Chains A and B, each alone.
Chain A
Amino acid sequence: MQATDPRRLRAKTQFWAIVSVLSNVAGNSALTYGMQALGGIGNSPAALIGALFHPWVALGVTLLIVWTFAHMALLSWADLSYVMPVTAIGYVVTAFAGKFFLGEFVSPMRWAGIILITAGVTLVGHTEPASELQK
């Protein structure tokens, strides 16, 4: 059956994991930028819903909707204990985006964190995405 072909499943998982990571990183960045631009908005639900109409918050929310669907699609065939750590590469993408686009300083401690996360993601990435395929 096509669905259980391990190579096809791995390629499909990698593609949707990339979509999930990029939409999540871009969405969270736009959301943070928008929320900080708005300043203190109080605790009321009306204020939080009102914030959704700020352009950067709206862009962030749209990208996070894309992330939600990509994440749901991934979880329809892959393990949670695979998807969660593999998509953690987003932390590394965020750090690189900060360095190259915003000119942020990456301290030796942060480089150590980037290396640890990359090693962890590589290790989990070598397991089969779905438990049924593991020997």
Chain B
Amino acid sequence: MVSTTVGDVFRSLGMRHHGEIHDFRPGALGSALAAIARNWMVIVSTCAMAVSFFSFMKLVSIAPMTFAVPMSAATFIPETLLARYLLREQVDWRRWTGIALIVVGVVFIAQ
């Protein structure tokens, strides 16, 4: 959970720093990837995502998906708080309500 949250926030910071990707041709994607790979925030994000990935891989080998899935949704709350206060995104009532509904929904779906 911690590594996913750190990974997502740094990925968002790093990609925002890079700017919008609007050219999806292979050559242009290659140069965009080369630029992104040198961005330290994206590097931190990738390391955190690797930890998150191997933790999830281990988790699904020992726990049922019904436990693993709601655990992954638990990152929504800290990530939204960080998006609002660290990334300075405009999180209006529709986003807060939507996220609350999704978190409750994920808990229900995992029953």
On A, residues with C-beta under 8 Å from B are 2-3, 31-32, 35-36, 38-41, 43, 45, 48, 51, 57, 64, 68, 71-73, 75-77, 79-82, 84-85, 88, 91-92, 94-95, 107, 109-110, 112-124, 126-127, 131, 134
Those of B49-64 within 8 Å (CB) of chain A: 49, 53-54, 57-58, 60-62
Distance in angstroms between the alpha carbons of A59 and B53 in the assembled complex: 15
- Looking at chain A's contact residues, the main secondary structure is helix
Evaluate contact between B109 and A124: CB separation under 8 angstroms: no
A selection of 28 A-B contacts at a CB cut-off of 8 Å is: A2-B22, A36-B60, A48-B57, A48-B58, A72-B11, A72-B36, A72-B42, A73-B15, A75-B16, A76-B16, A79-B83, A81-B83, A81-B99, A84-B8, A84-B80, A85-B98, A94-B69, A109-B111, A110-B108, A112-B108, A113-B110, A114-B105, A114-B109, A116-B104, A120-B98, A123-B101, A127-B94, A131-B88
On B, residues with C-beta under 8 Å from A are 8-9, 11-12, 15-16, 18-22, 24, 36, 42, 49, 53-54, 57-58, 60-62, 65, 69, 73, 76, 79-80, 82-84, 87-92, 94-95, 97-102, 104-111
Evaluate contact between B97 and A123: CB separation under 8 angstroms: yes
**Set A41, A68, A84, A113: member contacting B49, Cβ < 8 A:** A68
Closest to A12 in B: B22
**Set B9, B60, B83, B87: member contacting A32, Cβ < 8 A:** B60
Contacts A68-B49, A72-B15, A95-B109: A51 and B102 contacting too (C-beta < 8 A)?
A: no
Distance in angstroms between the alpha carbons of A81 and B20 in the assembled complex: 17
Instruction: Add 8 more A-B contacts to A72-B36, A115-B105 (CB < 8 A).
Output: A35-B61, A76-B15, A79-B87, A85-B95, A117-B105, A120-B100, A123-B97, A134-B90
